[in-house]
Amino acid sequence: MTVSNISAFAQPYETDDRPREACGVFGIFAPGEDVARATYFGLYSLQHRGQESAGIAVGDGKAIRVLREMGLVSQVFSEAQLEDLHGIVAIGHCRYSTTGSSQLCNAQPMVIVDDPGAPQEGEPFTLAHNGNLVNVAELQESLEASGAKFMSTSDSEVIIQLIKRTSGRSWHERIARALPRLSGAFSLVLASANELFAARDPWGIRPLCLGRIGERWVVASESCALDTVGATLEREIAPGELIRINEDGITSLMYAEPVPKLCSFEFIYFARPDSVIDGLSVHSVRVALGRQLATEHPADADMVMPVPDSAIPMAVGYARQSGIPYGDGLVKNRYIGRTFISPTQFQRDRGIQLKFNPLTAELEGKRLVVIEDSLVRGTTSRPLVALLRKAGAREVHLRIASPPYRHPCHLGMDTGRRSELIAAQHTLDEILQFTGADSLKFLSLEGLATAIGRPAGTSCRACLDGKYPMPVQEELQELSVD
Ligand code: AMP
């Protein structure tokens, strides 16, 4: 395989230059408090998990009102709208599409209003989902056979329809009976007009945590959202757990046996570094990944620099372990929103320079170790190496703080087909040639496990080793074909 052949497949993404990520969810039960505003701030700190659409649903004891729009949290909600949203319970969602296309009908929270099948007629219900189901086709088929009509293309609607059509004396009972039929990744926040629920799939693929502000309860995808609203982190919602929060307090039900398989990419890329997941500081894990990378793949160089932002703590770790000084070689423009850049030829040509500007004075004449958190389709690395060389770098040694990404994720990361993943199609030597770097090394699978430090077998790394935690439906398996 020649270098030019590789570049033919390493095209920028259809609508963006990065793989897409999962979503952020938030929920609060706090009578007498401004639950809408708390949810707004919670979503603000989860914005990194999804920038396509945002929504808040508020229950006031009788009804549920929802605000949903395409765009960033700061663009979707106005002060006047928030001012007007009163209630005792609220849930929120920020979305990047995984299944379901990029349209308002797929925005969340999803609602059922005036549902004749509800436990009490007309009682509203709402749901926000992070993750991706792997048995959606079979569920949708059986729901349609029983008369369900789908309004969106999202797997989250399958969940809400399933709950709606499951019998039970209360929402709690219906949810508890519906959840065991779902397979795949789901971290859910749900609400009726006067109760909050939160549930996590038996594998605990996506994070979900419980926090407390005095007597009030909050749930969020990541603990950074709890910090923002002044809540303390109480604990993780356990894999296979369903929580119910209402005026009587909080109750927990294990609806399934837990088989923990937390997504490794939450530590590598998704989560904010100031979050704590399952007792582990994301920042500290990233520093450890950098240290491990330095141990496995040393380099003879003058400066260690990150590709900002996610690789910054990894570069810190590499520098500490290797003794090579840390330096910043790129400034990232943080105001380039995904929402307003259209995938024009201009963007394809200039994409990397719109995002990163080199600090020439830092780079001139230097032998660099450049730390990147991951290589997925190979879109970033080649123009980046060229940019650094143009800015005067003498040598560029690429070090990737995760193992080669070879299998599509079916559980919440939209990284595309196997044929689009550079490490699935090419040898490491071919990838090195393609990037134009002087050397290229990846962290080992064992090194990843050591740096994350979770008990053996409790992490999902299907994108790296192809071992999915559960059977995956046929349509999704096709993505795994070359
Ligand atoms: P690529 O340029 O296609 O090789 O993708 C790797 C780059 O995308 C790295 O800079 C990562 O920080 C970033 N990245 C890794 N995983 C994801 C993801 N799931 N969503 C968005 N960006 C990602």
Residues in contact with 239: Cβ distance below 8 Å, sequence separation at least 6, in sequence order: 200, 201, 202, 203, 204, 258, 259, 260, 261
Q: In whole angstroms, what is the distance from residue 408 CA to residue 47 CA?
A: 24
pLDDT over 90 at 148, yes or no: no
pLDDT over 90 at 11, yes or no: no
Output the CA 31–ligand 1 centroid distance in Å: 41
461: Cα separation from own chain's centroid: 14
Output the CA 309–ligand 1 centroid distance in Å: 11
361: Cα separation from own chain's centroid: 35
pLDDT over 50 at 170, yes or no: yes
pLDDT tens digits, residue range 380-430?
A: 899 999 999 999 999 999 999 999 999 999 998 877 789 989 999 999 999
pLDDT over 50 at 5, yes or no: no
pLDDT of residue 3: 29
Lowest-pLDDT choice from 22-26, 149-153, 209-213, 333-337? 333-337
pLDDT of residue 123: 82
Q: Higher confidence at residue 215 or residue 152?
A: 215
pLDDT tens digits, residue range 308-335?
A: 999 999 999 999 999 999 999 999 987 7
Of ligand 1's listed atoms, the one at least distance from the Cα of 311 is 12
pLDDT over 50 at 92, yes or no: yes
Specify whether the CB–CB gap between 91 and 40 falls below 8 A.
Answer: no
Average pLDDT along the chain: 89
Q: What is the 3-state secondary structure (H, E, C) of 269-299?
A: HHCCCCCEECCEEHHHHHHHHHHHHHHHCCC
Note if 23 is an active site residue.
yes
Q: What's the mean pLDDT in 354-365?
A: 94
pLDDT of residue 350: 66
Specify whether the CB–CB gap between 220 and 234 falls below 8 A.
Answer: no
Q: What percent of the chain has pLDDT over 90?
A: 77
**Which residue's CA lies nearest to atom 5 of ligand 1?**
376
Q: What percent of the chain has pLDDT over 70?
A: 88
Residue 196's DSSP bridge partners are 191, 245
Domain ranges of the chain: 20-260, 278-478
CATH number of 20-260, picked from 3.40.309.10, 3.60.20.10, 3.30.70.360, 3.40.50.720 = 3.60.20.10
Output the CA 412–ligand 1 centroid distance in Å: 14
Q: Ligand 1: residues whose CB is within 6 Å?
A: 18-21, 269, 307, 310, 372-381, 413, 415
Pairing outcome for strands 241-246 and 196-200: antiparallel
Domain spanning 278-478: CATH 3.40.50.2020: yes
pLDDT of residue 321: 98
Q: pTM here?
A: 0.91
Q: What's the mean pLDDT in 187-216?
A: 97
Position 75: which residue type?
Q
- The tokens for 101 are 């296309």
pLDDT over 80 at 339, yes or no: no
Counting ligand 1 atoms within 8 A of each CB, the residue from 310, 375, 376 with the most, and so the one to mutate, is 376
Specify whether the CB–CB gap between 173 and 98 falls below 8 A.
Answer: no
Q: In whole angstroms, what is the distance from residue 263 CA to residue 270 CA?
A: 10
